[in-house]
Amino acid sequence: MNYLITIIGPTAIGKTSLSIALAKHFGCDIISCDSRQFFKEMCIGTAVPSEEELAAAAHHFIQNKSIFDNYTVGDFEKEAIVKLDELFLKNNIQIMVGGSGLYVDAILKGFDNFPDIDNSVREKINADFEQLGIDYLQNKLKELDADYYHKTALENPQTLQNPQRMKRFVEVCIGTGKPYSSFLNQKRNERRFAPIIIGLEANREIMYNRINQRVDIMIKEGLVKEAESLFPNKELNALQTVGYRELFDYFDGTISLEFAIDEIKKNTRRFSKRQLTWFKRTENVQWFDFKSNPNDIINYIKSKI
């Protein structure tokens, strides 16, 4: 039997250090499912593991793509499953870690299959979004897939404010001529592993303090300079993320640097809350306090194998 130890939890909670401790103990590799860490041009703002951390265990899917690549969660699912099949030949225990709930689900559950969409559809939607804003995407989804729009508004209202997700919904509707929801919950591929899911958590005050400290460290390490180098490409999907958007506003002259840094902290705290909400809905998770001794977590994993 193959086992995929999956470590989930909000940002800045300590997932990376735990994954390395577990990888050393079990002698296995680490699959990253943090969608912000795929891109080689982004490092400081995405909290990519340090050189020492990367050297401590074999990592996959970290800085392996470019911000200029059109890389979807479906692409990740296909590539990661192939890599896991390869890794399981060497060791029947492997580790996956990351805070991107959709990408975790894609590996553990399988992802819904969507037809390929013509690039011209995507380009037209991007152009309309640039001119008309998020309201255009919301109204278009409501028009083309009212059921899914209302379901999302009820269960995940923040998704309606996410341009990347909304563009995807609309492009599927327009590109296929069918509602986005018609492609959901189809038969998915079986997985050749059993997941052991570990969640890390802390009380909200501690979690928020850790986030604020991490942002301060990022600024000291050169986040402003990194964001400035990416500013000419600020419209790319990969850069529509916390830590960069706020600094792009600073470079545009609409806000001060101090305000931008405060906004990064605030928006990261909001992001962590959404992550936790997502992960708390995940089934069969064993939650541990972020300060837990790794040996206690190792003992729990051994009890499940």
Write out the binding residues for substrate: 11-16
Residues 280/9, Cβ–Cβ less than 8 Å? no
The residue type of 162 is N
- Cα 226 from chain centre: 20
Gap between the terminal Cα atoms of the chain: 9
Binding residues: 9-16
Contact yes or no for 93/305 (Cβ under 8 A): yes
CA distance readout (Å), 281 to 8, 81, 111, 184, 298: 12, 23, 17, 18, 24
Cβ-based burial of 119 (10 A; exposed 0-12, middle 13-18, buried ≥19)? exposed
Positive or negative torsion for Cα 43, 98, 67, 161: negative
Q: Are 141 and 173 in contact (CB under 8 A)?
A: yes
Residues of the binding site for ATP: 9-16
Burial class (CB in 10 A: 0-12, 13-18, 19+), 9: buried
